């Protein structure tokens, strides 16, 4: 089946193959969520398992990530969300010490598709940078991503810095090791386990900020 071929191509770090196969599935009208969740994200889950089992090393994880990103780029125009638009600015980034950006990019893409103005600060973002960007851009929501248990504390530090700066932004957090309990403990206003959920959450938080339309 073609979706499995895409996963296999990601696991073989076959960037040209992924590009060709994803485009073929888009052209054939295959459900975009199926391509995203079953083929691309599914493949990255398998990469993670193989890394944990010592079958893959960091360079291979990186190659798989680059291959996945090529597929994701083709899906981007189709990840447009629905038409109920809640406008406002979301500042997003992966917290200090953390270089994982695929999930964060996906969340940013879907927020853009849903009509938000998105300021993406990238990876390894210091708390002060979030504070500066939130203030400069008049953000209604700040969205923090972390993929490592060791960088989750940087989320708490960032939230403290935003509060100490007196900014009234709503803060949402996410990433594989993050839970709603953790979000509550560190004073975030919301947690989402995935990108579509992040869009819904951003809408709610923005509305609470008075930024919806
Ligand atoms: Co890293 N890595 N990695 N890695 N890596 C993980 C996270 C790991 C679970 C692998 C494993 O051991 N099984 C493990 C973390 C263990 C832990 O902390 N408990 C790990 C490790 C250990 C490391 C290094 C320490 C390895 C080393 O050097 N020894 C190192 C750390 C570097 C650093 O950040 N300082 C490292 C490095 C890397 C690469 C650079 C090689 C590469 C990242 C490349 C890149 O992102 N540009 C990489 C990769 C690819 C992975 C795995 C395999 C895949 C991550 C991914 O992209 N998933 C990952 C294993 C895994 O997660 N299965 C692993 C696909 C992506 C779509 O999902 O990011 O979860 P995800 O995003 C989801 C949700 O979480 C959510 O929505 C997204 C879409 O549904 N979400 C949000 C994410 N952010 C959100 C924000 C929100 C809301 C939802 O609101 C704000």
Which domain covers residue 20, as residue numbers? 2-83
Residues with CB under 6 A from ligand 1: 41, 44-45, 47-48, 51-52, 58, 61-62, 65, 97-104, 106-107, 143-145, 147-150, 172-177, 192, 194-195, 198
Closest Cα to residue 133, out of 165, 178, 157?
165
48 phi/psi in degrees, rounded to 5: -60, -45
Alpha carbon distance 68, 47 (integer Å): 11
Same domain, 180 and 202: yes
Mean pLDDT in residue range 32-57:
91
Which of 68, 83, 98 finishes a domain? 83
- Give, using CA atoms, the residue closest to atom 30 of ligand 1: 58
pLDDT in tens, 133-174: 999 999 999 999 999 999 999 999 999 999 999 999 999 999
Alpha carbon distance 42, 39 (integer Å): 5
CATH for 194: 3.40.50.280
Look at 35-44, 92-101, 123-132, 157-166 and tell me which has the smallest mean pLDDT. 35-44
Q: Is the Cβ–Cβ distance between 115 and 81 less than 8 Å?
A: yes
Determine, yes or no, domain membership for 194: yes
pLDDT for 1 beyond 80: no
Closest Cα to residue 118, out of 86, 158, 166?
86
Q: Is 106 helix (H, G, I), strand (E, B) or coil?
A: helix
pLDDT for 44 beyond 90: no
Burial (CB count within 10 angstroms: exposed 0-12, middle 13-18, buried 19+), residue 129: middle
Mean pLDDT in residue range 114-140:
95
- Give, using CA atoms, the residue closest to atom 70 of ligand 1: 176
Which of 42, 59, 83 finishes a domain? 83
pLDDT in tens, 47-101: 889 999 999 998 998 899 899 989 989 998 887 655 444 479 999 999 999 999 9
Same domain, 12 and 99: no
Position in ligand 1 atom list of the atom nearest CA 190: 90
Mean pLDDT in residue range 104-113:
87
Domain count for the chain = 2
Mean pLDDT over the full length of the chain:
92
Position in ligand 1 atom list of the atom nearest CA 100: 46
Å from CA of 195 to ligand 1 middle: 14
Å from CA of 147 to ligand 1 middle: 5
Same domain, 110 and 78: no
pLDDT at residue 113, rounded to an integer: 73
Mutate to test the pocket of ligand 1, among 46, 47, 68, 100 (most ligand atoms within 8 A of CB): 100
Which of 62, 83, 104 finishes a domain? 83
Same domain, 128 and 171: yes
CB atoms within 10 A of CB 58: 8
């Amino acid at each position: 089946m073609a979706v499995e071929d895409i996963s296999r191509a990601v696991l073989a770090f076959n960037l040209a193959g992924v590009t060709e196969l994803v485009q073929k599935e888009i052209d054939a009208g295959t459900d975009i969520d199926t391509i995203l969740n079953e083929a691309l994200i599914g493949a990255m889950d398998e990469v993670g398992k193989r890394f944990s089992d010592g079958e893959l090393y960091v360079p291979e994880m990186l190659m798989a990530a680059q291959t996945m990103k090529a597929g994701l780029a083709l899906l981007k125009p189709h990840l447009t969300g629905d038409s109920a638009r809640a406008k406002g600015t979301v500042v997003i980034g992966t917290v200090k010490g953390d270089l994982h950006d695929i999930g964060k990019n996906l969340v940013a893409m879907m927020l853009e598709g849903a009509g938000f103005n998105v300021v993406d600060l990238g990876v390894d973002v210091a708390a002060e940078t979030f504070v500066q960007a939130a203030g400069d851009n008049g953000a209604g929501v700040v969205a923090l991503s972390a993929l490592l248990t060791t960088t989750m504390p940087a989320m708490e530090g960032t939230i403290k810095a935003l509060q100490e700066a007196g900014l009234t932004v709503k803060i949402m957090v996410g990433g594989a090791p993050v839970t709603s309990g953790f979000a509550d403990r560190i004073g975030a206003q919301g947690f989402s386990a995935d990108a579509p959920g992040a869009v819904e959450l951003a809408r709610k938080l923005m509305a609470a900020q008075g930024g919806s339309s």
